[in-house]
Structure 1
Amino acid sequence: MFTSTFTFAAGDYDAEFHALDDRIAQVARAIPGYLGEEAWENANTGLISNVYYWDSMEALQQLMSHPTHREAKQAQARWLKGYQVVIAEVVRSYGDGGIPHPLRDARAD
């Protein structure tokens, strides 16, 4: 399993940003191998992180090579004050089951 974490400093959003953001989310969710996502905001820094979970690198690469993703990457400076992407392999996932999580069904306790 893999994660793609997109961390960014928000800028000025407009209707075009929201439309493109919605399209990317729809594309990601339609890719076989998409497991789920989470979003986090750091109140101290103002940074926002979106974490997408994938069952394979191939599934993740489908999103990265999709035209909508490339369009967003080219236009990001219009709406964001900076960003960072981290791709990681999940070595282990566990918890007590008290909160839902995209990897809950796939975890190795």
Structure 2
Amino acid sequence: MFTSTFTFAPGTYDDEFHALDARIADMARATPGYLGEETWENATTGLVSNVYYWDSMAALQQLMGDAAHREAKQAQAKWLKGYQVVIAEVLRSYGDGGIPHPLKDRPAR
């Protein structure tokens, strides 16, 4: 399993941003191999992180190759004050079951 974490400093959003963001989110959720997502905001820094979970690198690469994803990457400076992407392989995931999580009951390969 893999994660793709998109951390960014919010800027000024417009209708074009919201439409493109919704298109990419819909495509991610419709991609075979998509397992779920989480969004976090750091109250101290104001940074936002979107973490997407994938069952394979091939699933993640399918989204990364999409035209809308490339369009957003090229236009991001219009809406964001900076960003960082981290792709990681999940070695282990566990918890007490007290909270829902996209990787619950999915053993790492």
Q: Give CA-to-partner distance per residue, 1:10-32, whole Å, 9 cap, x none.
A: 00001111110000000001110
Residue type of the partner of 1:72? Answer: A
Instruction: Please give the alpha-carbon distance, in whole angstroms, between the structure 2 residues aligned to 1:29 and 1:82.
Output: 24
Match of 2:21 in 1: 21
Residue type of the partner of 2:57? Answer: M
Matches within 5 A, 1:57-72: 57-72=57-72
1:107 shift after superposition? 3.6
Residue type of the partner of 2:85? Answer: V
Match of 2:92 in 1: 92
Task: Find the residue that maps to 2:99 and give its secondary structure.
Answer: coil
Residue type of the partner of 2:19? Answer: A
Q: Give CA-to-partner distance per residue, 1:22-73, whole Å, 9 cap, x none.
A: 0000000111000000000000000000000000000000000000100100
1:83 shift after superposition? 0.1
Match of 2:42 in 1: 42
Instruction: Please give the alpha-carbon distance, in whole angstroms, between the structure 1 residues aligned to 2:46 and 2:103.
Output: 26
* Identical-pair percentage: 81
Tell me the TM-score normalized by structure 1.
0.97
The alignment of Structure 1 onto Structure 2 pairs a total of residues equal to 108
1:105 shift after superposition? 2.5
Residue type of the partner of 1:9? Answer: A
Residue type of the partner of 1:71? Answer: E
- Gaps in structure 2 of 5+ consecutive residues: none
Structure 1 runs, 4 residues or longer, greater than 3 Å off:
none
Pairwise CA RMSD: 0.8
Residue type of the partner of 1:11? Answer: G
